[in-house]
Structure 1
Amino acid sequence: MNAALFPDLVVNGEAVPHAVVAAETQNQDAPAGKPGIAWRKAANAVAIRTLLLQEAKARDLDATPEEVAPGRFETDEEALIRGLLDAAVDVATPSEAAIKAEWDKDPSRFRSHPLWEVSHILCACDPRDQDATAKALTRANGLLKIVQGADAKGFAALAARESDCGSKSSGGALGQLGPGDTVPEFEAALRDLAEGAMTQAPVLTRHGYHLIRMDAVAKGQVLPFAAVRDKIAAALEKAAWVRQSRAFIATLVATADIKGAELGTVIPQG
């Protein structure tokens, strides 16, 4: 990316080096071959971060970096922004009435974890190897044509012959799985499958391509209010914090002099 093609970012008279915006582009989603979109998103993000740091310094705040993961601490800038938002955003504890009202909207949203009884056929590959991945996909699509419309016995027979997983010895059966028991890409496919259904296309995970059959589903039970009360309260408090922090940032944006970004009324999503 040629940073010289993009405008300078200046926030309240403070010039932000192009290198800072360029580094931020790595954190922004944009279509391939569209560097301008990534740059604009990065410029907006950096402009907001710069505004927050300017406000923290104007308030003479001092925050000590906290540990956010084992062995990983906030940067000084992250600590300052956290300290600023802690000072600027004051969220009230939600009332019991508000918590109960949220639950009453649809109690069926609050369930215990489901259980899935699953079988699969694996065409193994390393997704980092393009040639191997292409060959595995071709093979998986071929097996998909064979097994479409098959019953559980037909699926198991094909898995026993063709799967690259050790589960082939049990006809591809993985037994009962719950949330967190498998890789996220595999689990995402399970959440969309009805009992007796099979994925309509191969599912790619870090292990290769999978054809997945949902042998049985045990939906989680609706939980009583008392069991989810604290979870609802935390969610309401978090949502209120997000709303207030966005409003605070919007006030900074509204009074700022920003060149090289297109914030307008943009407020970061959280």
Structure 2
Amino acid sequence: MPPPLQPEVTVNGEKIPARLIAAEAQNHRAAPGKPGLAWRAAARALAVRELLLQEARRLGLEPKPRLVGPGRREATEEALVRAVIERRVQASVPDEAACRAFHAAHRDLFRSPPLYAASHILLAAAPGTPERADARAVAREILARLAARPQAFEDLARAHSACPSREAGGRLGQLAPGDTVPEFETALATMAVGTITPEPVETRYGFHIIRLDDRAEGAELPFDLARPRVRETMERAAWARAAKALVAELVAAAEITGIDFPRVA
């Protein structure tokens, strides 16, 4: 149900049902006790969607749903929204000079990835299984032993780890971003060299005790190596600006009731 006193939302005379706004509101965060914020964000999102659908009809576009996953195609309305964006959003392509200037002004954005040397002990347990709690308990017992004797890491890895790296005392070798699951990678990024995670790191595989053995920070990339990333970054930013301008144009020309839109600078 909508928060109290929320008015009916219409876009050029087309009503957006409150039940759809309530469902969409689940996708928008709001501070505790302020459901109206999520409601208004959802109403704006659905109003923009309706404007894009109306623009697609005005242009006479035909939906051509694409495959978006194994055995799954776009819904008709999704295909229409994509079609109108492809027709109306034309982002400029940066030239070489613009790319060089952007790289010079944002060198920190274009670096080689950091590299890590790490070891771990894996207490394996699938999510939602009774073994999960047992694996966590064992991981904490091992951490307690490591707190007293950190030099025992390799022996404990050989004795307890469910990863093939146990044969090497838990050593995983060199790791780059993307080589491990996100939770593991996040832990590595926040650790000091030579330290062990104070708590087990939980992933879909179970619980990891991680030791960071070394880190090599990424270096700034010269323009010739960074060129593809620079161009991609600039193209994405240009596309976002063009999409924002299209929405602002449609909002300005529409008659919308029940929800306001912030002014676009």
**Which of 188-197 and 26-35 deviates more?**
26-35
Equivalent in the alignment of 1:77: 77
Cα deviation for residue 21 of structure 1 reads: 3.1
In structure 2, the CA distance between the partners of 1:117 and 1:45, relative to structure 1 (3 Å rule), is same
> Is contact 2:165–2:171 with CA below 8 Å preserved after alignment?
yes
**Which of 256-265 and 228-237 deviates more?**
256-265
In structure 2, the CA distance between the partners of 1:36 and 1:107, relative to structure 1 (3 Å rule), is closer
**Which of 181-190 and 192-201 deviates more?**
192-201
Equivalent in the alignment of 1:105: 105
Rounded to whole Å, the distance in 1 between the matches of 2:36 and 2:166 is: 48
Q: How does 1:115-126 map to 2 (within 5 A)?
A: 115-126=115-126
Instruction: State how many pairs are aligned.
Output: 264
**Which of 26-35 and 7-16 deviates more?**
26-35
Cα deviation for residue 212 of structure 1 reads: 1.0
Rounded to whole Å, the distance in 2 between the matches of 1:94 and 1:4 is: 45
In structure 2, the CA distance between the partners of 1:233 and 1:158, relative to structure 1 (3 Å rule), is same
In the alignment, is residue 56 of structure 1 matched against residue 56 of structure 2? Answer: yes
Equivalent in the alignment of 2:238: 240
Rounded to whole Å, the distance in 1 between the matches of 2:120 and 2:100 is: 42
Rounded to whole Å, the distance in 1 between the matches of 2:207 and 2:234 is: 39
> Is contact 1:21–1:39 with CA below 8 Å preserved after alignment?
yes
CA deviation vs aligned residue, 1:44-97 (integer Å, no higher than 9, x gap): 322221121122222323342334455543322222222222232222211222
Matching residue's letter, 1:140: A
Matching residue's letter, 2:115: L
Over aligned residues, Cα RMSD in angstroms?
3.3
**Any idea what SS the aligned residue of 2:211 has?**
strand
Cα deviation for residue 146 of structure 1 reads: 3.2
Rounded to whole Å, the distance in 1 between the matches of 2:144 and 2:9 is: 54
Equivalent in the alignment of 2:146: 147
**Any idea what SS the aligned residue of 2:180 has?**
coil
In structure 2, the CA distance between the partners of 1:80 and 1:123, relative to structure 1 (3 Å rule), is same
In structure 2, the CA distance between the partners of 1:204 and 1:266, relative to structure 1 (3 Å rule), is farther
> Is contact 1:254–1:265 with CA below 8 Å preserved after alignment?
no
Equivalent in the alignment of 1:161: 159
Rounded to whole Å, the distance in 2 between the matches of 1:164 and 1:45 is: 46
| Runs of 5+ consecutive residues of structure 2 not aligned to the other structure | none
| Runs of 5+ consecutive residues of structure 1 not aligned to the other structure | none
> Is contact 2:158–2:169 with CA below 8 Å preserved after alignment?
yes
Cα deviation for residue 185 of structure 1 reads: 2.0
Cα deviation for residue 105 of structure 1 reads: 2.5
In structure 2, the CA distance between the partners of 1:39 and 1:150, relative to structure 1 (3 Å rule), is farther
In structure 2, the CA distance between the partners of 1:105 and 1:34, relative to structure 1 (3 Å rule), is same
Q: How does 1:1-270 map to 2 (within 5 A)?
A: 2=1, 8-29=8-29, 38-69=38-69, 71-107=71-107, 109-129=109-129, 132-148=131-147, 151=150, 153-261=151-259, 263-265=261-263
> Is contact 2:3–2:35 with CA below 8 Å preserved after alignment?
no
Matching residue's letter, 1:146: R
**Which of 82-91 and 92-101 deviates more?**
82-91
Rounded to whole Å, the distance in 1 between the matches of 2:7 and 2:199 is: 44
Rounded to whole Å, the distance in 2 between the matches of 1:77 and 1:211 is: 47
Rounded to whole Å, the distance in 2 between the matches of 1:235 and 1:68 is: 24
Cα deviation for residue 11 of structure 1 reads: 2.3
Instruction: Provide the TM-score with structure 1 as the length reference.
Output: 0.79
Instruction: Provide the TM-score with structure 2 as the length reference.
Output: 0.80
